């Protein structure tokens, strides 16, 4: 089983649609969770951290379910500029130097169509 698994997509949605991405992780000791965004031929950039209580940033909502080891990202009212690959990212846990090691999912590709 991969440490972080995502549906690769691609997701092709019309402007204004709501789209949800899911991610599962295998290490129950993981403490930190993130969604990164990577545009074509660019570097990954942090989109948002994911907290147990769920968190929202504008049109983006992230949820974490520790019991199921599941993370989600919801994008409402999608824009053309949301087209990118969304990477689910999980840290390894709190022991030793590996705590700082992030494991990246392979990404979910989103294309928002006009």
Partner 1 sequence: DTAVSQTPKYLVTQMGNDKSIKCEQNLGHDTMYWYKQDSKKFLKIMFSYNNKELIINETVPNRFSPKSPDKAHLNLHINSLELGDSAVYFCASSQFPGALISTDTQYFGPGTRLTVL
Using CB under 8 A, list all residues that contact partner 1: 31-32, 34, 38, 42-46, 49, 85, 87, 91, 94, 97-104, 106-107
Nearest approach in angstroms of CB 114 to partner 1 is 25
Nearest approach in angstroms of CB 43 to partner 1 is 4
| 3-state secondary structure at position 114 | coil
Handedness of CA 61, 25, 7, 85 (dihedral sign): positive
Residues 6 or more apart whose Cβ sits within 8 Å of residue 48: 34, 35, 55, 57, 60, 62
- In this complex, which beta carbon is closest to partner 1, that of residue 18 or of residue 31? 31
Nearest approach in angstroms of CB 11 to partner 1 is 15
């Amino acid at each position: 089983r991969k440490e972080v698994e995502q549906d690769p997509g691609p997701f092709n949605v019309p402007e204004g649609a709501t789209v949800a991405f899911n991610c599962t992780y295998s290490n129950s000791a993981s403490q930190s969770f993130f969604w990164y965004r990577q545009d074509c031929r660019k570097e990954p950039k942090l989109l948002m951290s994911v907290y147990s209580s769920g968190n929202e940033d504008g049109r983006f909502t992230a949820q974490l379910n520790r019991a199921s080891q599941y993370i989600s990202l919801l994008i409402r009212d999608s824009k053309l500029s949301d087209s990118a690959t969304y990477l689910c990212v999980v840290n390894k846990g709190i022991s030793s130097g590996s705590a700082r090691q992030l494991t990246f999912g392979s990404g979910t590709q989103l294309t928002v169509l006009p």
